[in-house]
Amino acid sequence: MTSGGKIRNLNDLAKHFDCTAMTVSMALRDSPQLPEALRERIKAFARKNNFSPRSYNRKKTQRECGGKRYSHLGPLLILHNDFYHEPNPARDQTMPCAFQLLNQYGVEYSYVDISEVKRDPEIFQKFSGVLYYNDQEIEIPPELPTMQIFGWKPLKPRQDRVTTDDEKVAELTADFFLAADINRVAMVWRDDMISNYYEHPRVHTLKRKLETAGIPVTSLLFSRQDDDFLERLQEYIQQGDKAIGFFAFNSVSGLKLCSALDIMHLMPIYAPDKLLVCDNNLLLQNFWPDFHTVDLNFPMLTRRAVDGLLWRLDNPDAPESTLYLYPRLLSPGSQ
């Protein structure tokens, strides 16, 4: 802000709320990705200070919306089940893409926490379709068309899924480690990410392939409030041969693992050819040296899911389907 306290731009507003300019921008555009209470506080403060950028009030033209209008197919229910202050790759990389597409298509939607639906299942009656990510413990009415992004548990009738091919992820990862100079592998993920990791295809297939090839696999799990992961990782490294391969289940796990290796000054030893993270995420791009990643292509998953749900609403009697998208192994510096 200026010395007089006048709000001139998004950065001035962001400083007042101790957040980023992006968060303020989303609030002024009434983005459902932010909690309603936070949106209202920011908008009220902006009104009080006569701050109303023209760009937020401008209506999009038909050309800007891609010439596609599907407003007759809404409203849609977009479900989430995560803490806003915690990173979540499925939420953070799919939901903004979904909101952007639905806005372009002119489809009305609401972003609702799953806990609200569990308290009041009648909420489902207000919507024509449901979009959500990952496996969730929730009963969706069988007559309501549903699209899931990610997930591996069996689906019910009238439910479609777009997900990554986890068997291919496991194959790419196994080939990566089999070509490396390693004698054991540590797999890292947060303990609440998978209800039964022994059955998850990405983990189960990888573990089976490596152990069949004579490479023992150890699971290093951590919790949301974990304060001893670094010590447990150090203990694992010191237990035997230093020729270790590290696999992180997703970008959150990769952030935990890379931070620990960085603290121990071990990234230069393991990153070039013994570290693999299953997600090509901006969260991981500040570590050095670069390491290999498996790109799950979140934008493509989201686009296929949104388009698939809209197609389902127009074709309610078509058979249910699961679309698997092929992952890619990215070497350091590749796109």
Q: Give the residue from 211, 198, 332, 208 showing the smallest Cα distance to 272.
A: 332
In angstroms, the CA 235 to CA 238 distance is 5
pLDDT digits (tens, 9 = 90+) for 237-266: 999 889 999 999 999 999 999 999 999 999
Q: What SS3 state is found at 322? A: strand
Predicted confidence at residue 2, as pLDDT, reads 44
**What average pLDDT does range 149-178 have in this prediction?**
92
Handedness of CA 274, 276, 281, 284 (dihedral sign): negative
Beta strand 109-113 with 129-133 is unpaired
Max distance between CA atoms of the chain, in angstroms, equals: 70
Record the tokens describing residue 258, joined without a space. 């890379």
Mean pLDDT, rounded, for 269-295: 92
The angle formed by the CA atoms of residues 161, 85 and 251, to the nearest 5 degrees, is 55
Q: What is the mean pLDDT of residues 294-312?
A: 94
Kindly report the pTM of this predicted structure.
Answer: 0.75
In the chain the domains, ranked by start, together with CATH numbers, are 10-52 (no CATH), 71-163+299-326 (3.40.50.2300), 166-295 (3.40.50.2300)
Residue 160 · residue 320 · CB < 8 Å: yes
Q: What gap in Å lies between CA 100 and CA 104, rounded to an integer?
A: 6
Q: What pLDDT was estimated at residue 85?
A: 64
Mean pLDDT of 180-205: 84
Phi, psi of 76 (to 5 degrees): -105, 150
* Spatial separation of the C-alpha atoms in residues 138 and 224, rounded to whole Å: 22
Query: How far is it, in rounded angstroms, from Cα 107 to Cα 129?
Result: 11
| Cβ pair 221, 191 in contact under 8 A | yes
Residues 98, 76 contacting (CB under 8 angstroms): no
The arithmetic mean of pLDDT across residues 182-188, rounded, is 96
